[in-house]
Structure 1
Amino acid sequence: MAAISANIHSTADVADSARVAASARVWHYAQVREEADIGENCIVGRGAYIGTGVEVGDNCKIQNYALVYEPAKLSPGVFVGPAVVFTNDQFPRAVNPDGSPKSASDWEAVGVTVHEGASIGAKSVCIAPLTIGAWALVGSGSTVVKDVPDFALVVGNPARRVGWVGRAGHPLEKQADGMWACPRTGQKYRQVDSNTLIEVENS
């Protein structure tokens, strides 16, 4: 049940069976559906939609008018920009081949999984099923149609990797011997292959 002490605006529509942490904030005209789980310190912006059973980890920010359809799963610290869409139907149709209206039993929902610290820029569309890796960054207006590696910077339609980002969100600078460095924090990373970047201990 939604926490009575949570900061839920009077115009928000939060289902009785939704779980909203007391420190979370749900703003004007947002909708949180049945069995959704909103973690500590989360922000659900104006007009955002959180689908049935969607899991939102602690410290996430879901900005205005984002549409997070079930069965999406967001790990802690995820940023979902304004008007982002997470789809859930691979073969969308309003009707069956015989012309009858589709019901819930006529299709299978598939979800988007977003790992810790990742950010999805404004008006991006994530076409389920796919996974966005930890600390990855999806540029605004991108259409994501395949999995995104950890720390990857992807942009475009379809989204392609154009670089790497660190935990601070800044593009990494290429060093010698497959090494990369964050210009803000100095954290070092090693590129293992075209789709794999790992953090290394700074000496």
Structure 2
Amino acid sequence: MNYEAHPSAIVDVGARIGKGTKIWHFAHISGRAVIGEGCSLGQNVFIANDVQIGSRVKIQNNVSVYEGVELEDEVFCGPSMVFTNVRTPRSAFPRNTSADYHKTLVQHGASIGANATIVCGVTIGPWAMIAAGAVVHRDVAPYALMAGVPARQIGWVCECGATLQIVNETAECRDCTRTYEKQGSQIIRRWITKEVF
């Protein structure tokens, strides 16, 4: 076993867990889950069957990642945030097969704040930041800062997490000096290459 699991955690047979991943108290990993390297799964985390989780993902306490959800590398899920996977749940009319679930994709580096809710069927773009308590019900652009109920874009964030100020269609992070360029309704990272002589 190349990962660490607290004695109270349940890891079902068949789960694939990457090197260096840590699973804390009372977590439950289902048998068809796939989890990458160097992840941290906090107390009382549940990972359902057929969930794909990348490497270096941090899932804080009391988060359930249900079937239909995929988390790419370096995603952060804050305490008690919620993923849904069915649009019209009814106890009297169970919808609990793979055909009933709507796919939710959280892309590389995105962060979801404490107690936020992600309604199924959306894609959260790379390095986006979802504020605590927000309710996301539609796709989120890369680097977008989202807040409110329902969530609305209130700005842009750098890969390091600092907010960005767009001036003349460009932005430079005050904390790490990464630079960005606004193109239409999105921003992209500007890569500066040095010439080699």
Instruction: Pick the TM interval, shorter chain.
Output: over 0.9
User: Structure 1: which 4+ aligned runs deviate by more than 3 Å?
Assistant: 103-107
Of 73, 88, 92, which residue of structure 1 is paired with 2:89?
92
Instruction: Provide closer, same or farther for how the CA distance between residues 185 and 103 of structure 1 changes in structure 2, counting only shifts above 3 A.
Output: closer
Contact in 1 for aligned 2:70/2:106 (Cα 8 Å): yes
* Structure 2 residue ranges without an equivalent (≥5): none
Aligned residue number for residue 197 of structure 1? 187
Q: Number of residues paired by the alignment?
A: 193
| 1:74-114 alpha-carbon deviations (Å, 9 max, x no partner) | 11000010001110001100113xxxxx2635960113201
Work out the CA distance in 2 between the residues paired with 1:72 and 1:132.
Answer: 11
Q: Give the secondary-structure state (helix, strand or coil) at the position aligned to 2:171.
A: strand
The answer to whether the 8 Å contact 1:166/1:172 transfers is yes
Given candidates 178, 182, 193, the residue that maps to 1:187 is 178
1:173 is aligned to 165
User: Distance between the aligned counterparts of 2:113 and 2:23, measured in 1?
Assistant: 20
Aligned equivalent of 2:106: 114
The corresponding residue for 1:43 is 40
The question of 1:74 aligning with 2:71 is answered: yes
1:13 and 1:106, CA in 2 relative to 1: closer, same or farther beyond 3 A? Answer: closer
Please report the TM-score for the alignment, with normalisation by the length of structure 1: 0.91
Alignment counterpart, residue 13 of structure 1, candidates 10, 14, 23: 10
Question: Pairwise CA RMSD of aligned residues?
Answer: 1.5
Flag the 1:188–1:105 CA change in 2: closer, same or farther, 3 A: closer
2: CA distance, partners of 1:103 / 1:17 = 25
Structure 1 stretches lacking a partner, 5+ long: 97-101
Percent of matched pairs sharing the same residue: 34
Within 2, Cα distance between the matches of 1:178 and 1:9? 49
| Alignment partner of 1:130 is 2:127 | no
